Amino acid sequence: MEINDLDLKGYLFAYIVVQLPAYGHIREIVTPNGEILSIYKNSKLSWGGVKRSLSVLDDEAYIQVKYNNISDPGLYTVNISWDPLYIKTVDSKDRVLSNVELRVEGIDTIFLTNESGWGILKVYKPGIINITATYKGKTVQELQIKTLISHQIVLRCKVYDLKVTVQTMLNQGLSDAEVTLIDKDTGEVFETAITDKNGETIFIQIPHGEYEVQGSYKRISNSMKVNMDDNKEILLKLNIVLIIPFFN
């Protein structure tokens, strides 16, 4: 911080005071003349024929910059170490959710969680922390931290599983049916899968939102809408009465 003569004008005594949240640690204060001050507790140092008051503790500090007619304007540098914030992203089933984009407002930081779901945020200033989590282009969670108490946060995201069963009109499971998941917001194909021998397939870790599920088998198709606000199972019937082996 820069202190000039105008800042000190009209004051008999003046101090710089620094107070940090629990995750900040003051290492040292560097005065305009390059003097490094650290680990002082309510002390007084010789200063132009008077005693300058100062204290440099872990989370708070003060230093006198004017005493009557004696002042020390200029650039004061406070070197601080900040404890990092560890954020782990998981889905609705508490499974690891990797490659989640975390945008931190106020600190203007964007980073991705790793394969284990962890992201490391270097919190370098106090204040409210707003975090927005985006997965596969969709906002899946928002978090506001007013007071940072814990340095490890688990962020449960709105990401779910969708099980689709494709059957004939007589409840026969259709294997090798193609199931396509279409994002209703963009109209784009989100994911495509093939059913197993029981006519089932599962879409894993789908962001919340509205989708259209299309199922097709040998040019016969059907579709339905699904709102992914939870883990869901749906049944999709095609206008097929019976599949006869070897004859189709």
**pLDDT value, residue 188:** 94
Q: How does pLDDT run across 101-130, given as a tens digit for each residue?
A: 999 886 667 889 999 999 988 777 677 888
Confidence category of residue 245, pLDDT binned at 50, 70, 90: low
**pLDDT value, residue 88:** 96
**pLDDT value, residue 226:** 97
Using CA atoms, how far residue 185 sits from 142, 161, 188, 248, in Å, is: 20, 19, 8, 36
- Number of residues that make up the chain: 248
Confidence category of residue 82, pLDDT binned at 50, 70, 90: confident
Are residues 175 and 196 in contact, defined by beta-carbon separation less than 8 angstroms?
yes
Q: What is the mean pLDDT of the chain?
A: 91
**Residues 108, 109, 110, 113, Cα dihedral to 10°:** -150
Residue with tokens 């407002």: 105
Are residues 155 and 94 in contact, defined by beta-carbon separation less than 8 angstroms?
no
What percent of the chain has a predicted confidence (pLDDT) above 70? 96
**pLDDT value, residue 169:** 92
| Max CA distance (Å), the chain | 106
**pLDDT value, residue 122:** 79
**pLDDT value, residue 162:** 98
3-state secondary structure of 192: strand
The answer to whether residue 199 scores a pLDDT higher than 70 is: yes
**pLDDT value, residue 223:** 96
Please report, for the chain, how many H helices and E strands are present, in that order.
1, 24
Global pTM reads 0.75
